[in-house]
């Protein structure tokens, strides 16, 4: 969603802001803008719909004078259409403001401050800028505090005041911000990719604090009566800029598919001790597994699909109820969880707003929370009782690939440890389970090596408006992710169905050449799935079958058969995930679409 960057220091601000915005492009956006504080203290605004490149070209033509302080923004429209006027920054009198989030009471504020005739955009953000301008009497901290007291919703703001040259102020409620003071100047951004070229040391802006950036200092103030100065907890980035570059790959998605075996190793290997899962470094105590009588898994999107696989793996072994919920639903339910529930929160970014709200609800219900998170220091990681960090490195493509695999690896390890602690697995069984998990890594490599032939299979679905993914049991859980991947980047309408459910309606949609991607890797339901495949085949479907190397497949059953290595049934998700990701990738590529930044989607969903 919206990306934020602010810079003040000795260097040319426009260059840093535009490069920073390019680094934030992956979050998903539809317009971009910058505001520069010029040498004469005048403000120069530039805003353009479309890609950051449009803004850059515009700035190159229009901005001739230099500036050393400015703020920049990529907008993902929520209130008001995609227009230059609705793009940020918004200027209201002396205030220049950019915003990520949603101001829920913007309408009431418009009326209260009689702003109807002043507003020039349709955005909630401009309302915040105009209210702040009314409250501003020369003291930025006091005005910002008054503004915050009036707002409902989630937000992070970066603000310049025309009469405070060289200074940038920022505040956040839920929506993330990171900041750093570096020898090249002071920076603030909505995520680390914009800071990494300048520093490895940063801090996460705490809620209920105002940050003030000056060229060589970053100050942090509490929101108390006297604005007490405080010192942030510094953090170090554990990946380098290379990890956020394409490194010769045509797209981030393809690069990230290739990175999966390494990411799996990074996540699993440091947590194996004498062949057993060991979370002592993560400070995750066994007591949370011993005492829990049910597990509630909560997440959104791909992370939720990882949860669906985990449930199918864990429940038969643990013999306790395991429920998977979509965070945006869970947060408005009256959930049946209590102090004996272990709530597992899964989030790549650690900032998804619905997932965060669900975590907070779990705490209200007194449940123990364990977060599986990729981004170090993210809000979900900080607010959870315990954190299991996955080590995927930065994931830039909107369609999640390596983050999914390592979420699965984390959940498999958690399930294994829980089974051991609860006496459902012997040590030998746990060692063998982890051995099978490690065997899944070369199986993923095998499938990555077959990317061209998988790409050829994708050619058969790109002309169809619809595609169906079917499977039973675990294969159904994999299908959900396959369908999501395909629809989000190829715009082919894709649905996943439990194969046995087709006859209850969906089979009416099967006709000549409709692609059906059938996953049949689970031995105990193999023959049943094959029967369901025959049923759709008989109605003219084009079958792409995903089966194990050793599976006996009738010659005439599938139009294309993609074989995965013979890993244990519980672990087929890993090579299957690679196949499904590659089908989606090549479908998007062959349709000449924007693989890494699909339309309307955002990487980090920080609004409800
Ligand atoms: C967005 C992303 C997905 C992601 C989901 C949850 O929809 O495009 O790739 O799975 O959010 O994000 P999270 O960061 O919480 O895993």
CATH (domain of 505): 3.40.50.10490
Checking if the pLDDT of 132 tops 80, the result is: yes
- CA nearest ligand 1 atom 1, residue: 603
For residues 257 and 342, state if they share a domain.
yes
Answer yes or no: is the C-beta of 480 below 6 A from any ligand 1 atom.
Answer: no
- Among the three residues 429, 449, 469, which one is the final residue of a domain in this structure? 449
- Among the three residues 449, 477, 495, which one is the final residue of a domain in this structure? 449
Answer yes or no: is the C-beta of 348 below 6 A from any ligand 1 atom.
Answer: yes
For residues 430 and 456, state if they share a domain.
no
- CA nearest ligand 1 atom 9, residue: 400
For residues 283 and 224, state if they share a domain.
no
pLDDT in tens, 167-218: 999 999 888 899 999 999 999 999 888 888 899 899 999 988 999 999 989 9
Q: Are 504 and 453 in contact (CB under 8 A)?
A: no
Domain assignment of residue 136, given as a range:
3-237
For residues 461 and 428, state if they share a domain.
no
> Considering the domain boundaries, does residue 604 fall inside one?
no
604 CA from centroid of ligand 1 (Å): 6
For residues 381 and 294, state if they share a domain.
yes
64: Cβ contacts below 8 Å, ≥ 6 apart: none
- How many domains is the chain partitioned into structurally? 3
Checking if the pLDDT of 241 tops 80, the result is: no
Answer yes or no: is the C-beta of 605 below 6 A from any ligand 1 atom.
Answer: yes
Q: Which of 2, 69, 292, 300 is catalytic?
A: 2
For residues 381 and 283, state if they share a domain.
yes
For residues 403 and 473, state if they share a domain.
no
> Considering the domain boundaries, does residue 607 fall inside one?
no
> Considering the domain boundaries, does residue 311 fall inside one?
yes
> Considering the domain boundaries, does residue 608 fall inside one?
no
> Considering the domain boundaries, does residue 426 fall inside one?
yes
461: Cβ contacts below 8 Å, ≥ 6 apart: 467, 486, 490, 492, 515, 517, 542, 544, 583, 587
Locate the ligand 1 atom nearest the alpha carbon of residue 28 and give its number.
8
* DSSP state for residue 194 in the 8-state scheme: G
Residue 190: count of CB within 10 angstroms of its CB: 28
For residues 97 and 227, state if they share a domain.
yes
CATH (domain of 172): 3.60.20.10
Q: Tell me the pLDDT of the chain averaged across its residues.
A: 94
379 CA from centroid of ligand 1 (Å): 15
Checking if the pLDDT of 565 tops 90, the result is: yes
- Among the three residues 212, 237, 262, which one is the final residue of a domain in this structure? 237
Q: Which of 47, 56, 537, 603 is catalytic?
A: 603
328 CA from centroid of ligand 1 (Å): 12
Answer yes or no: is the C-beta of 349 below 6 A from any ligand 1 atom.
Answer: yes
Answer yes or no: is the C-beta of 581 below 6 A from any ligand 1 atom.
Answer: no
> Considering the domain boundaries, does residue 265 fall inside one?
yes
> Considering the domain boundaries, does residue 387 fall inside one?
yes
Locate the ligand 1 atom nearest the alpha carbon of residue 300 and give its number.
6
What pairing do the DSSP bridges indicate for beta strands 209-214 and 168-173?
antiparallel
Locate the ligand 1 atom nearest the alpha carbon of residue 488 and give its number.
8
pLDDT in tens, 342-391: 999 999 999 999 999 999 999 999 999 999 999 988 899 999 999 999 99
> Considering the domain boundaries, does residue 92 fall inside one?
yes
* Nearest-angstrom CA–CA distance, 318 and 208: 41
For residues 105 and 192, state if they share a domain.
yes
114 CA from centroid of ligand 1 (Å): 38
* Nearest-angstrom CA–CA distance, 425 and 402: 28
Answer yes or no: is the C-beta of 301 below 6 A from any ligand 1 atom.
Answer: yes
pLDDT in tens, 28-58: 788 999 999 988 778 999 999 999 999 999 9
Residue 345, φ and ψ in degrees, nearest 5: -105, 130
For residues 441 and 496, state if they share a domain.
no
Q: To 5 degrees, how large is the angle CA 588–CA 390–CA 241? A: 65
Answer yes or no: is the C-beta of 398 below 6 A from any ligand 1 atom.
Answer: yes
What is the pTM assigned to this prediction? 0.86
Q: Are 171 and 211 in contact (CB under 8 A)?
A: yes
Answer yes or no: is the C-beta of 601 below 6 A from any ligand 1 atom.
Answer: yes
For residues 418 and 485, state if they share a domain.
no
- 86: helix, strand or coil: coil
For residues 390 and 493, state if they share a domain.
no
């Amino acid at each position: 969603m919206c990306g934020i960057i602010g810079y003040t220091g000795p260097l040319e601000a426009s260059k840093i802001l535009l490069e920073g915005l390019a680094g934030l492009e992956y979050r998903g956006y539809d317009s971009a803008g910058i505001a520069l504080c010029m040498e004469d203290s005048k403000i120069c605004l530039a805003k353009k719909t479309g890609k950051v490149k449009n803004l850059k070209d515009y700035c190159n033509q229009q901005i001739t004078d230099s500036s050393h302080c400015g703020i920049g923004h990529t907008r993902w429209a929520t209130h008001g259409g995609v227009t230059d006027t609705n793009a940020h920054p918004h200027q209201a009198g002396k205030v220049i403001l950019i915003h990520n989030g949603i101001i829920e009471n913007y309408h009431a504020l418009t009326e209260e401050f009689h702003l109807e005739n002043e507003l020039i955009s349709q955005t909630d953000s401009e309302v915040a800028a105009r209210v702040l301008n009314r409250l501003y009497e020369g003291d930025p901290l006091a005005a910002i505090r008054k503004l915050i007291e009036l707002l409902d919703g989630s937000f992070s703001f970066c603000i310049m005041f025309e009469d405070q040259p060289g200074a940038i102020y920022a505040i956040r409620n839920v929506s993330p911000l990171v900041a750093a003071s570096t020898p090249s100047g002071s920076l603030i951004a909505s995520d680390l990719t914009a800071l990494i070229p300048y520093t490895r040391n940063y801090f996460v802006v705490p809620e209920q604090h105002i940050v003030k950036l000056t060229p060589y200092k970053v100050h942090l103030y509490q929101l108390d009566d006297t604005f007490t100065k405080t010192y942030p907890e510094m953090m170090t980035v554990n990946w380098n800029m290379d990890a956020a570059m394409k490194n010769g790959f045509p797209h981030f998605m393809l690069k990230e598919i290739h990175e999966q075996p390494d990411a799996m190793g990074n996540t699993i290997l440091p947590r194996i001790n004498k062949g057993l899962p060991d979370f002592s470094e993560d400070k995750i105590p066994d007591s949370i597994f011993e005492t829990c009588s049910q597990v509630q898994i909560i997440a959104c999107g791909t992370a939720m699909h990882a949860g669906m696989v985990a449930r199918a793996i864990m429940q038969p072994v643990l013999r306790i109820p395991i429920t998977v919920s979509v965070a945006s639903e869970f947060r408005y339910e009256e959930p049946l969880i209590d102090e004996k529930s272990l709530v597992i929160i899964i989030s790549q970014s650690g900032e998804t707003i619905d997932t965060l709200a669900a975590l907070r609800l779990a705490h209200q219900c007194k449940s123990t929370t364990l977060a599986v998170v990729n981004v170090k220091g993210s809000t979900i990681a900080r607010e959870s009782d315990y954190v299991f960090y996955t080590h995927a490195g930065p994931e830039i493509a909107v369609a999640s690939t390596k983050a999914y695999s390592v979420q699965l690896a984390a959940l498999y390890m958690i399930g294994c440890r829980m089974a051991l602690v609860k006496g459902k697995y012997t040590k030998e069984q746990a060692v063998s389970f982890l051995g099978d998990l490690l065997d899944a890594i070369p199986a993923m490599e095998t499938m990555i090596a077959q990317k061209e032939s998988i790409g050829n299979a994708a050619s058969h679905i790109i002309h169809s408006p619809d595609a169906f993914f079917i499977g039973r049991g675990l294969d159904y859980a994999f299908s959900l992710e396959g369908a999501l991947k395909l629809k989000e980047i190829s715009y082919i309408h894709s649905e996943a169905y439990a194969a046995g459910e087709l006859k209850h309606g969906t089979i009416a949609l099967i006709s000549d050449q409709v692609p059906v991607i059938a996953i049949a890797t689970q031995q105990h339901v193999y023959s049943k799935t094959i029967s369901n495949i025959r049923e759709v085949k008989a109605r003219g479907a084009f079958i792409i079958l995903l089966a194990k190397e050793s599976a006996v497949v009738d010659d005439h059953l599938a139009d294309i058969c993609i074989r995965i290595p013979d890993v244990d049934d519980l672990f087929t998700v890993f090579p299957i995930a690679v196949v499904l990701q590659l089908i989606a990738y090549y479908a998007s590529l062959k349709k000449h679409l924007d693989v890494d930044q699909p339309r309307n989607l955002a990487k980090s969903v920080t609004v409800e």
